[in-house]
């Protein structure tokens, strides 16, 4: 499975108006705490991979997922192979990861409000320490180019410029921010 994603900095107020005009369906709001891990056998920053444990809180409850993100697969989006699975016991998962030599490296906290337009999820992200972003994404098994082109169309519908996209993850942006201080 591939996650095809475009992300830009944007003021949420303007985007909300355009989402309404475009007939988007509001899906809901969640709070996420992402813990990224370092591997004992390779440097994920160098290989452009990530291992993440995400805890998501919403009105429906709390869910934890383990996610592996592979390296970016193209130059024009944040498309990457992704594998994820729900976790029943986050404390046991932490013990497993520690036993295998994986160590927590950084955390990212955000509030996300999601909308649907066609087969795309539009997410308004407020990221602690970084500000406001908009992501347009979908998951596909193949035909990454068509999915990316569709994501660009959705961005343009929302008055956003897909050529201003940021291919760096929130983790990477936070690490850059910390390094510049």
> What letters, b where the CB count within 10 A reaches 16 and e where it falls short, cover 75-89?
ebbbbbeeeeeebee
Superfamily assignment of 2-180 in CATH? Hypothetical Protein Pfu-838710-001 (2.40.320.10)
Q: How far is CA 51 from CA 10, 48, 88, 106, in A?
A: 27, 11, 17, 11
Tokens of 161: 């410029």
Cβ atoms within 10 Å of 65's Cβ, excluding its own = 17
Low-confidence stretches of the chain (pLDDT < 70) are 181
At 60-71, the pLDDT tens digits run: 999 999 999 999
At 22-70, the pLDDT tens digits run: 999 999 999 999 999 999 999 998 898 999 999 999 989 999 999 999 9
Domain extents in the chain = 2-180
Active site residues: 36
């Amino acid at each position: 499975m591939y996650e095809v994603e475009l992300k830009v900095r944007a003021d949420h107020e303007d985007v909300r108006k355009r989402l309404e005009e475009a007939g988007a369906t509001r899906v809901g709001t969640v709070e996420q705490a992402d813990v990224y891990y370092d591997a004992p056998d390779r440097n994920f920053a160098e290989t452009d991979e990530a291992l993440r444990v995400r805890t998501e809180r919403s009105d429906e409850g709390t869910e934890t997922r383990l996610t592996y993100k592979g390296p970016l697969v193209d130059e024009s989006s944040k498309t990457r192979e992704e594998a994820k699975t729900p976790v029943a016991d986050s404390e046991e998962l932490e013990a497993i990861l520690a036993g295998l030599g994986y160590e927590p490296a950084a955390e990212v906290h955000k509030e996300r409000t999601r909308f649907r337009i066609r087969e795309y999820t539009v997410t308004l992200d407020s990221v602690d320490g970084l500000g406001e972003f908009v992501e347009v994404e979908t998951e596909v098994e193949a035909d990454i180019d068509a999915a990316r082109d569709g994501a660009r169309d959705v961005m343009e519908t929302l008055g956003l410029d897909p050529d201003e996209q940021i291919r760096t993850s929130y983790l990477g942006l936070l690490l850059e921010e910390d390094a510049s201080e």
